[in-house]
Chains A and B, each alone.
Chain A
């Protein structure tokens, strides 16, 4: 069959759902094609026994409060999606074991954050003041950049926003050092590095601080009905605005016409459209039928890139409450060595991992008398799943889960092993299966130094520039994360709307 639409959106992940919703809101005829039978991609949940587990979300940055909404809350409001969020007052607790270790809790919210940093790092008042100034300056520089519509005056930037230029081109570790933070203090402040997947000595400072700012301001947010609730709320507004979703529909080819993408194919079906938005990672799109039309410069870009990280996730349903077990933290970062570079290279349960207890933020997230824990182990290097094969897969999953469960018990003194009522373990294999992404990456492309947010941003006009095709999602310019994936969907939609409106006006003349 051949179908005709204004826009085809491929993939119903965070980016695709947002783009589709925004486009339908504009009155365009949009079809959203998804190979799975559910919307959300990463943003999903699953049921085991009497538990429903959040599949991927730790916390959303940029939620803010209803009074002072952050970017994500504003985006949902703009689209008319009725998502319910709960704010979490603590940013995280971080326990690093070992000689240069620490056990600190940082709070979210402007003042509270800086106060908690000063408490955790005695003597750092001056450096903290400088950090705060830098964050504010960065915000102003961004406002200036936005106001200048992406072509800021170099001179103004150099004179007025040179601090911003420094953070935009140095690692977070270099910047924090220049502000006067000691090694240990830097380790504390860099705790979130794994969310972006590049060690602090390489991770772009501006990017990190932007993320941090999103978490600090107004607090991190957790959706009341898990990330899957957010996905369904977006699917809902999309459908209400006349959009169509086709599940179990895997896109397998791109249709090129006159050097432009003119649609996609899914098996024997053709979906023709004026514009295609892809939430599917460029690697996979460039592997589809029609790939002979992809210009060499784009292939070069992809071949130069390193794939982003994946995860091992351990989901535990426990038959005791968080209170009974003594679990007080929503987000706990555990590390066995302080340097993020060493954590990146470490063996299982010797590096770092994150443990979330959703019940701390959403007390009724699981049935009465129970709670759940969600361990996330970033898989930075392939060696962490070397040795997995189809014959030992299940046993390897149990073994790895046991390692982390026991480590958690040792580090926190909290006994959980004999309370496990449900357990499920996801690995890069799981993510490869559900998202189809190469090596199961959940983070798109590594934000290495040359491929940092800033470098991507400055080059975006000339890259992945294929007429009729726009990318959005965790693999695009702004990197991974829920907030930025939603926003990338929004930007993709706005770009498409602008072009389509432009061409419509053009036809009128």
Chain B
């Protein structure tokens, strides 16, 4: 009954066909009444301005300080360089990295480095007085790390990407306690977490298992010990090549993790060399943790691809890669255990790169013809990429001659990774 009254109470309004005839005149009136000044530039809208602050693409910075941390590692302090167009540093979350660009012998090369300082330090007092810190370990025979060690000094101008990467703490996803596993210079993202926790930025409990070969390889030692006094952080040194009282020795195994982990739920965050990831991926399942509680940083370049569980041997000992870009073509040579990206860069062609780990998608390229070996541990492509023949050259190894279309490094600020 109620429904009937409802229906009757609402007679069908007054619709009129004349409305149709009014559509155009009303529109014309509305348009005639508006201004013919230039339309506001998209960049001036508040949301776009915020987007530009958070995602500037590239940042132009200057070295403000250089510190030697150990025999092979230096700490660089970077500050904004307003003269080159960067007035303040882009915000980030601990665990993120920046891709650092260098020019060497006329070639543009880039490498990711974790931000080792905290977001709070990057913000400063909001007056462009913030800093980033990165710790650079010199890799024997390394192209870029060596170049940085030799050339970067106070005042050097450097171009870096905006902060990128997903190795961050998210309270909606991660446990309230994190067991951090740091291998060697893999301590850097944890230093950022720690400095943020101490400054009231992040809040979770961190139990840090810090693995190095010997005591002298430890960096940030006194700082870590000081931080441990806060009660939020615990630091355990694990030496693989020597024994010390009060410290662990050997590798960071499930048994060792269990010894320090809490009884309640915890997340494992791991950052270190590729050998460590390989070891942990094989060993960690023994802990029976849910997958959501195990997180790895972008895994970086594989040192010896032959050690990968799914390694596919090559028939040849050298392949040629034809790189097409904007109508031009150039051919370079590539060893089967060298990434397509590094061969192309060696050939003097700049390739967009961010993580160099297969994760950020920034090097996304079309494989026109040929076959590659792409280790499952690094394959961060989308389903459709695989179907339509797109690869991430940073983690692809040739298994035949290749023809590949590589996009140019974007001019200006539209450098973009795959973060939101």
Q: Collect the chain A residues with CB atoms within 8 Å of residue B26's CB.
A: 450, 455
Q: Collect the chain B residues with CB atoms within 8 Å of residue A38's CB.
A: 361, 364
Chain A to chain B contacts (Cβ below 8 Å), 26 pairs: A46-B418, A48-B166, A162-B17, A165-B20, A166-B15, A168-B20, A169-B17, A169-B19, A178-B12, A178-B13, A179-B12, A182-B10, A232-B387, A250-B411, A286-B38, A296-B36, A303-B35, A319-B292, A390-B90, A391-B126, A426-B420, A429-B47, A432-B51, A440-B48, A451-B27, A459-B28
Contact (A423, B387) CB under 8 Å given A46-B418, A429-B51: no
- Do residues A229 and B36 form an inter-chain contact, with CB atoms below 8 A? no
Q: Which of A162, A169, A423, A452 counts the most chain B CB atoms within 10 A?
A: A169
Q: Is A170 at the interface (CB under 8 A from chain B)?
A: yes
Q: Which of B31, B33, B407 counts the most chain A CB atoms within 10 A?
A: B31
Q: Which of B6, B35, B90 contacts A300 (CB 8 A)?
A: B35
Contact (A37, B384) CB under 8 Å given A433-B416, A451-B27, A458-B24: no
- Do residues A37 and B171 form an inter-chain contact, with CB atoms below 8 A? no
Q: Is A430 at the interface (CB under 8 A from chain B)?
A: yes
CB-CB nearest in chain B for A50: B291
- B147 to chain A minimum Cβ distance, whole angstroms, is 25
Q: Is A439 at the interface (CB under 8 A from chain B)?
A: yes
CB-CB nearest in chain A for B90: A390
Contact (A450, B380) CB under 8 Å given A183-B10, A390-B54: no
- B379 to chain A minimum Cβ distance, whole angstroms, is 10
CB-CB nearest in chain B for A252: B412
Tell me if A's interface is mostly helix, strand, loop or mixed: helix
Q: Which of B51, B326, B382, B390 contacts A246 (CB 8 A)?
A: B326
Within 8 A of B (CB), among A152-209: 158, 162, 165-166, 168-170, 174-175, 177-180, 182-184
Within 8 A of A (CB), among B288-325: 290-292
- C-alpha spacing A235/B364, complex, angstroms: 14
Q: Is A422 at the interface (CB under 8 A from chain B)?
A: yes
Interface residues on B, range: 35 or more
Given A390-B53, A432-B51; 6 other pairs, CB 8 A cutoff: A37-B361, A123-B4, A250-B410, A300-B32, A440-B47, A455-B26
- C-alpha spacing A39/B390, complex, angstroms: 12
Q: Collect the chain B residues with CB atoms within 8 Å of residue A420's CB.
A: 172-173, 292
Q: Collect the chain A residues with CB atoms within 8 Å of residue B205's CB.
A: none
- A236 to chain B minimum Cβ distance, whole angstroms, is 6
- Do residues A304 and B30 form an inter-chain contact, with CB atoms below 8 A? yes
- Do residues B33 and A390 form an inter-chain contact, with CB atoms below 8 A? no
- C-alpha spacing A428/B55, complex, angstroms: 13
Using a CB–CB distance below 8 Å, which chain B residues touch chain A?
3-4, 6-7, 10, 12-13, 15-17, 19-20, 22-24, 26-28, 30-43, 45-48, 50-51, 53-55, 90-91, 93, 123, 126, 166, 170-173, 290-292, 326-327, 352, 359, 361-362, 364, 380-385, 387-388, 390, 407-412, 414, 416, 418, 420
Q: Is A328 at the interface (CB under 8 A from chain B)?
A: no
- C-alpha spacing A439/B48, complex, angstroms: 6
Q: Is A376 at the interface (CB under 8 A from chain B)?
A: no
Q: Collect the chain B residues with CB atoms within 8 Å of residue A434's CB.
A: 416
Q: Which of A170, A250, A267, A436 contacts B19 (CB 8 A)?
A: A170
CB-CB nearest in chain A for B418: A46
Q: Collect the chain A residues with CB atoms within 8 Å of residue B352's CB.
A: 37, 248
- Do residues B172 and A402 form an inter-chain contact, with CB atoms below 8 A? yes
- C-alpha spacing A439/B416, complex, angstroms: 18
CB-CB nearest in chain B for A287: B41
- Do residues A319 and B291 form an inter-chain contact, with CB atoms below 8 A? yes
Contact (A169, B39) CB under 8 Å given A304-B34, A390-B91, A429-B47: no
Within 8 A of B (CB), among A435-491: 436-440, 450-452, 454-455, 458-459
